[in-house]
Structures are given as structure tokens and as C-alpha cells.
Amino acid sequence: MCGIVGYVGPRDCSDVLVSALTKLEYRGYDSAGIAVFENGKIEVAKSKGRLTDLVAKMEREGKPVGHAGIGHTRWATHGEPSDINSHPHSGRRVTIVHNGIIENYKDIKKFLIENDRTEFLSDTDTEVVAQLLDFYYDGNPVRCIRKVLHEIRGSFALGIVFADRPETVYAVRCESPLIVGQGHGEAFIASDVPAIIKYTKNYFLLEYGEIAVLKNGLASFCDLHGRMVEKELKTADFDEDSAEKGGYPHFMLKEIHEQPTAVKTTITPRIEGGLPNLTECGITPEALREFNNIFIVACGTAMHAGMVGKYVIEKLARVSVTVDIASEFRYRDPLIQKNDLVIIISQSGETADSKAVLNLVKGTGAKTLAIVNVKGSSIAREADMVIYTHAGPEIAVASTKAYMVQLSVIYLLAFEMAYAKGTIDEEECQKLTLELVRVPEVIQQTIDRIENVCRYVSTKLITADSLLYIGRGLDYALSMEGSLKLKEISYIHSESYAAGELKHGTISLITEGMPVIAVATQNSLFEKTLSNIKEVKARGAMAIVICDLKSEIDLDSANYIIRIPKISEMLMPMVATVPMQLLAYYTSVNKGNDVDKPRNLAKSVTVE
């Protein structure tokens, strides 16, 4: 969603803002803008389109030159993408950038109009906040921000400059993430650490309701009541290189190739004596024994990781697992009981619907466990227990390595829970854990073996209007992710279907040449899936099969076969994910799409 940046320091502010916004492009946006103090006056430049459009406009019309300012990439919510609706927005003496949604903006607008404030130019909720700040501004910026915070509702973060406070940037956070970077004689604000990593690795995490003041290259903080706050300076555990493409044409391809390392880094510290050990994450065998039911709640790809979790946890630990989409779960009045465990999976740790689930669980007596990639994110901080995945920053909008490490953590949890509950013995648990330890190496072999095959097969997909992904059992859970990956970046309509369900309606969609990608890695279900593959091929489908090296299938039954290394059936999802990712990636590349920034999508969905 929208990205916020701000800068105070000796560098050319416009350049810093544009460079930092470039690093937030992955969040998704449709317009961009900056506001910079030039000779004591706020100068604004903004434009619909990409950052390159903004830069071109500034080259034509002149770029604001100064040393303090704010910047923004906008993902339209209130009002279409346009120059006028782009941020920054201004009142008479106040200019702001905003991430999130102001829920009561209509009431505020009515109040302002009733008080003779009628100069609204845009359709945005943001401009209403700029006008409200201006309405209350009495020469004391922090007091004014605090007053406005009491009147606006929603989830948001703001970067603010006041015309009579040159060279100073103010920021406030309510729900939407915001960090404050501290360099030598310079300070920054940003929606995410990668935006400023080029300048500094040191940052403060702004908490709910905290206000930051950036002045003379230093950041200071106060709370909602105006009291000064001392904050802990954190250091990012990655550097500029990890936030760059490192020679790959796209972040997505780089992140696919980073998977072996990401899985290794995630699982290694959680294995002791050949057995999973999650005590460092607050998870003990005693606690795992107590849970009656498990809910896994998440959105999109993270929810698909949960689908694999359902199969694996139920099979091994014999505990009932319900997987739900967070935006459904939060409104369906779910039956959560005292001894239940609610697992929230989220790469960003900031997804609005997933975050809302934590509030829902409070007071039920159930425990919450977050599986999160971004350190210090809201979901990680609010859950009772947290298992961090160590994928490093994921920049491509289409999630790959984050999904893979989510799977790896789910396996560890399932093994530990099954062992704790006595449904598997120590020997079996050690065997499964050892197999998981081998997975990074097998993922690497898979990438090496099939990247070119997938590149070739993807050329057969580019003219398709629609396709199906099918599978049974774990392969079905996996095909949901394969289908999402493909549709989000190739823009080809795609559905995932339980292979056995095709005959109950969907098979009527099959026409000559329609691609059907069958995931068939589960040996125990292979014969059954093979029958379904033959059924669709007999009706003209172009059958593409993902199976292991030993599966008995030939080119009479399928048009293309992508063979992957074999490990135990239960762990095959971590290997079979790779061809699905590569098929999506190369189809998107072959169609000339913007692979890392697919249209209409945002990396972190911080609004409902």
C-alpha cells in the first residue's frame, strides 16, 4: 500500500526522498509526490504514474531544492489515481503525506465546511486531515497533531511539515507501520527499513500514537499525551545488498534463488539434537499438548501455507485444524475456545485483516501464535508467541521465499506438536526433522534441474486466457498457491481445483488447448490424479504435470512433464513449489509484464 518517507539532513532532500521511495515501489502505487522546504517555503511536486513520471516532471518543471521534506507513493483508495489526488496534500499552513484510511473523513469534512473551510481540491481522505490540522494549528505543531489524533479514526501513519517550522519534519503512527531512521547528522522516516538502508541501518520503531520530530538531523519522540519518550535504537539485520537485485533481472527471481538459504537460516536455530526446539519462541511441549483445536488464519499466500499446515498437522498430530481467510474469520463469529491455538501467518506482520484477528481472540482464553517475517511488526508484537521466519526482506510483490519459510516453520511445529502429543515417537520425529534439514539442498537441486524446463513450458502458457491447477491432498493445497502465483503476475485467469472435484462441474470448462497444470507428487494419490489428468487430456486440455523423477507417466498421458527430485511425500510441497513459482515467473516475463510490481497489487495490505 502507500509508502511514506521523510528526510532532514545535509543531503539533497529531493534526491533522498525519490531514492527512498524507489525502495518502497514494491508496496504497490499509482502516483507519487514530494514536499520540500526550499528557502523556507514548502514546494510540492507530484504526479500520477510511476516515480519515473515524477522525476521527468521535476526535470521539466524544476525540482524542489532543500534539506528537509516528505515524500509518498500512493495506492489509490479514496479517489482515482490522478495528479490532484496524489500526495502530498496541503491545508493553508500544513502539508502531509498519509498511509492508511481515515474512516470518519466525511464527518470531519462536514465539520470543516460548517466552519467555513471549503477549499478542498481532491477526493482524498488525506486532504481532510491536512485541513483539520490547519484548522487547529495555533503555532504548536505537536499539540495540534495530538488534538487531531483524538478526532480522526482509522489506521494510518502521517508525515507532516508546517510552513512556519522550516527544516523540521513531524510524523505520527496509528496502526500503519512507520520507522524513524537515525544517521550521522541526518534523520529519516519511512514505511519500511529497506527505504533508508542505503543511508543508515539504525532505526527506531514508532509505536501506536507516538509522534516523532526530526530536527537538526536528530529524531525525538513524544506520546499521545505529549510526554517525551526514550526509544530503543534498533539495527537492521540486513544490508543494502539484500535489498537490491544482486545481478538478477527481477527481485522475484532473486528471491526464488534465495530459498535454500532462507529455509536453512529459518530452521537451523530451531533444531537441537535432531529434534525441533521452539522454546526460544515461547513454545513448549507442555503447552503444545494442551491445545484442543487449531485455527490457522491468514491472507493470500500466507493462507495457502496454512492449507499445507492443515494437512500436515492433522496427519501427524491428530489435532483438528481449521484454515480461514482473515477477512472472513474476523466477521464470522468463530467458535474459539479456551484451549485453542490461533496461528496467524503473515510475511509483513502488518496485514490489516490478519492483525484484526488478534483482537478477536483476546478474551477467549485461546492463545495466539504469529509466524511472521518482519521483525518488530505489529502482529509479531501483539501475539502471545512468535516464530520469526528468516527470509530477509521480500521485495517482489508475489511472495515466494516467504511462503517457503512459512512452510518450513509449519513442518517444525507439526513435528514438535506430534511428538509432544505422542502421536509420533522420538525416532519418527528425528527422521522427519532430518529430512527437513535436507530440504534446502533439494530445493537447490530442483532449481538447477528445472529452471530451463519451466522457462520453455511457460512459452506454452502465454496465449492462454484461462487455466486450471489441479491436485489431490497436499498437492491440492499446493496448487492453490501455484494458481495464485500465476494469476497475480501473468494476468491469466487461473483456478485451483481438487482433482477429484472436476467431474462435478468444472470439467465443462475444458476446451481444446486449455492448459491444465496437475501437481502429482503424492505417491499414495498418484494413480487417482493420473486418471484425472487423462480425463482432461482426452477432452483436449494441454496437460502439464509436475511429478517426481520416478513417477510412471509418459507423454501419452501428458503434453509436458516437469520432473522434480523426490523426498518424503509429506515434504514434497517444499520442492513442488519451485516449478510453480518458475512457471509463473517466466510466463510473466514472456508476456512482458512488470513482474515485481503487478498491476493493482500492493505488497503489504495495511487497509481492510
- Residues annotated catalytic, as ranges: 2, 603
Cis before 440 (ω within 30): no
How far is residue 317's CA from residue 281's CA, in Å, rounded to a whole number? Answer: 20
| C-beta nearest to ligand F6R: residue | 300
Give which of 347, 357, 292 is closest to 324, Cα–Cα.
357
Q: Which stretch binds ligand F6R (CB under 6 A): 105-113, 123-131, 293-301, 329-337?
A: 293-301
Told to check if 370 binds ligand F6R by CB under 6 A, we report no
The residue among 126 and 351 lying less far from ligand F6R, judged by its C-beta, is 351
Q: Residue 97 — φ and ψ, nearest 5°?
A: -120, 150
Three cell numbers, residue 123: 477526493
Q: Does 392 bind ligand F6R (CB under 6 A)?
A: no
Which of 347, 479 has the CB closer to ligand F6R?
347
- Region near ligand F6R per CB under 6 A, out of 122-130, 345-353, 434-442, 454-462: 345-353
Residue 85 binding ligand F6R, by CB under 6 A: no
What would the grid cell of residue 437 be?
534439514
Q: Tell me how crowded residue 21 is: count the other CB atoms within 10 A of its CB.
A: 25
CB of 347 to ligand F6R, least distance (A): 4
494 binds ligand F6R (CB under 6 A): no
Total number of residues binding ligand F6R (CB under 6 A)?
14
By beta-carbon proximity to ligand F6R, the closer residue of 86 and 347 is: 347
The answer to the question of residue 354 lying near ligand F6R (CB under 6 A) is yes
Place of cell 535504537: 233
Using CB under 6 A, which of 19, 47, 176, 348 touches ligand F6R? 348
Q: What DSSP character marks residue 526? A: H
Distance CA 540, CA 37 (A): 64
Instruction: Give the binding range for ligand F6R (CB under 6 A) out of 227-235, 298-306, 445-453, 528-536.
Output: 298-306
Exposed, middle or buried, 49 (CB in 10 Å: 0-12/13-18/19+)? middle
Binding to ligand F6R by residue 522, rule CB under 6 A? no
Looking at residues 567 to 606 of the shown chain, list those that interact with ligand F6R (rule: CB under 6 A).
604-605
Please tell me what DSSP assigns to residue 224: T
Among 132, 172, 213, 299, binds ligand F6R (CB under 6 A): 299
Among 99, 347, 494, 522, binds ligand F6R (CB under 6 A): 347
Which pairing describes strands 341-346 and 515-519: parallel, antiparallel, or unpaired? unpaired
| 586's grid cell | 517466466
Backbone angles phi, psi at 540, to 5 degrees: 100, -5
By CB under 6 A, is residue 398 in contact with ligand F6R? yes
DSSP letter for each residue of 338-363:
TT-EEEEEESSS--HHHHHHHHHHTT
* Short-list 139, 196, 189, CA closest to 35: 189
Residue 193 C-beta: closest distance to ligand F6R, Å: 15
CB of 301 to ligand F6R, least distance (A): 3
Please report whether residue 488 would count as binding ligand F6R according to CB under 6 A: yes
Residue 346, interface with ligand F6R (CB under 6 A)? yes
By the rule CB under 6 A, 327 interacts with ligand F6R:
no
- The bridge status of strand 3-8 relative to strand 187-190 is antiparallel
Indicate whether 351 belongs to the interface with ligand F6R (CB under 6 A): yes
* Binding residues for ligand F6R (CB under 6 A): 299-302, 346-348, 351, 354, 398-399, 488, 604-605
